Amino acid sequence: MSELLLQDRRAMQIVSRFGIAMGVGDKTIEQVCDEHGIHTPTFLAMVNTPNGCNPDTVCKMQDIDLPTLQQYLKNAHAYFLEFQLPRLRRQLIEAINPTDISGQIPMLILKYFDEYVQEIRTHIKHEDEGVMENHESDDRHISLKLQELVNLIIKYYPAHTAYPFSNELMTTVLVGIYQLEDELATHCAIEDNLLRPALKRKSIVDSRKSKAGNEKQQEELSEREKDVLIGVVEGLSNKEIADKLHLSQHTIITHRKNIARKLNIHSTAGLTIYAIVNKMIEV
């Protein structure tokens, strides 16, 4: 793990989002992941390529653990909203304070940043609610807005010499914005290349399981329903089936409705085919 962190600073972001502290010693990646309840293949998929995991090369989507991804993204959202963005805003205010606060440009830049933060909040809220429509276009818009903020500061922020470190403070803000841009790029890559395919795969698997479960449920008739079905196939009337099974005609009618609902077969010919295929009668 230590070698990975030394070689790839993106891995530091991912490790931090999982709540793994530094001081990993000589432990392997698997050992560290096991200690923190992290699915190792999913962790490796997140750090192995700059743009997330390529399902055709680095990993297979069936190796991805969705709860691990969701926990990472939940922690990442908290990091952006509760730490990184508020910290960057404090730095921006500190850089503006030595200037003439009545000047329009510094305050407009702060307003621009606050509007950007609100867009991030809305974007993250949509992610938490599972709204993935127009997700990629939102990512691009947020990235372009951050680049525009940098452009505005570099080109139009008024220079000040009265306070000796005012320009250094604003440079620190720019460095923080570049860091935020890198972190958001990693965050979006994991969402687009891992989370969305994993959610899609889960949806397909759940749909297949539900369909298989429904089909299995449809084919499961009670022993009494089977007796009624045989009577129907043999051409007996409801009264004759009721007399044969010592039941009321109302009960026979109810059984016939349940049979039709479970099998989705409503004709005598269809019930006959079903009975033959399932060896309930002989031809």
Taking alpha carbons only, the member of 187, 94, 180 closest to residue 145 is 180
- pLDDT at position 131: 56
As a residue count, the chain comes to 283
Could you count the other beta carbons within 10 Å of the beta carbon of residue 47?
A: 22
**Residue 258 DSSP SS3:** helix
Q: What is the pLDDT of residues 154-175, one digit of tens each?
A: 888 877 655 667 788 889 999 9
The owner of tokens 């609902």 is 261
Residue 57 has pLDDT above 50, yes or no: no
Q: Are 19 and 38 in contact (CB under 8 A)?
A: no
The band of 94, judged by pLDDT with boundaries at 50, 70 and 90, is confident
Q: Are 225 and 255 in contact (CB under 8 A)?
A: yes
CA max distance for the chain? 106
Taking alpha carbons only, the member of 36, 81, 59, 34 closest to residue 183 is 81
Residues 6+ apart with CB under 8 A from 120: 80, 81, 85, 142
Q: Give me Rg for the CA atoms of the chain.
A: 32
Specify the pTM: 0.62
Residues 6+ apart with CB under 8 A from 197: 55, 61, 64
Could you count the other beta carbons within 10 Å of the beta carbon of residue 70?
A: 14
Q: What is the pLDDT of residues 203-258, one digit of tens each?
A: 766 666 666 665 555 568 889 999 999 999 999 999 999 999 999 999 999 999 99
